[in-house]
Amino acid sequence: MNFKVTGLGLDKMRLDSPQSFLDTEEVEEGEDQQLLEPEAWRTYMEHRNVLREFLTSDLSPHLLKRHHARMQLLKKCSYYIEVLPKHLALGDQNPLVLPNTMFQLIDPWKFQRMKKVGTAQTKIQLLLLGDLLERLDRGRAELDALLESPDPRPFLAGWGLVEQRLADLSAVMDSFLAMMVPGRLHIKHRLVSDIGATKIPHIRLMLSTKMPVMFDRKESVAHQDWVSLRWFVTVQPVVPEQFELRFKLLEPRTQQECTQCGIIPVATCTFDVHNLLPNRAYKFTIKRAESYTLVYEPWRDSLTLQTMPGPPGGPAPSRLGKPSSPLTTPSER
């Protein structure tokens, strides 16, 4: 729905008067009131207040800004399939509650197909969320422009359409909020093959979300020939997680320097990487370790650190002449 908004007549305002800006709204309301009968004017003000209330509560700029931040966070999350007996709730990852025998009963080939379905469903869900948020932004801009329109007569004449627009935007907001939570995966075929048992367990598949792993940029620091790295997850998992740390020297100058890279499995949220070259830039990337249930991981955090310069005119560390890979050790902090 497009609303035509006429000019506000700013070219006719006396800008050299300090009071002109303070009296603008009162003057405009007085001019608008002259265009309507008293009863029509009261109706216009009631409708205007309804619209203003909607824009300051249900569709406020602060609310939209918060939804945009949540949307950016979802784009950085990792998405997994949870296999649950029907009597368990989503998010219950306790291995004592969910036995490993559940995966042993599932046909691996069928489960891989469901992972592809989960990947497609997650991508579609993120695209739909982005589209819904854009519709909310456009609706907010249209209604805000209508609220600032200087002529009340088109506003009154088209109020029925405005009410419909408010209802449509409320429905869009409801859809957006409902879609923020990953839902159930629809299974077209049985995942459990015929095992000859008299009773096949009832299972369900759900998409779950894990918050992104991000470097702590204040605590991650570089020294002359080593770096101390720290990362975190905003929502701490119930079960300890495994991570994969990658690093590489940026712009290597020799074939030997190309060996300054590696992939390190880590079971903590801190790690030290030693035997690096002084005064050089390194790129570090952190992510969760690969999981059998992972379906979509569109983002991983990366950090570039510059090691400190070595002693002026001093010889290069002898260990840098060795062809071995850099020594890596976990932090003990």
What tens digit of pLDDT does each residue of 260-305 get? 999 999 999 999 999 999 999 999 999 999 998 999 999 999 999 9
Can you tell me the distance from the alpha carbon of 319 to that of 231, in angstroms, rounded to the nearest whole number? 28
- Whole-structure pTM over 0.85, yes or no? no
Strand partners, 79: 209, 296
Q: How many residues does the chain have?
A: 333
Can you tell me the distance from the alpha carbon of 116 to that of 120, in angstroms, rounded to the nearest whole number? 6
Q: Which whole number is the average pLDDT over 144-158?
A: 87
Percentage of the chain beyond pLDDT 90 is 54
Radius of gyration, CA atoms only, the chain: 30
CA distances from 174 to 62, 168, 170, 171 (A): 17, 10, 6, 5
Q: Which residue, among 243, 286, 284, has the nearest Cα to 261 in the 3D structure?
A: 284
pLDDT digits (tens, 9 = 90+) for 225-272: 999 999 999 887 778 899 999 999 999 999 999 999 999 999 999 999
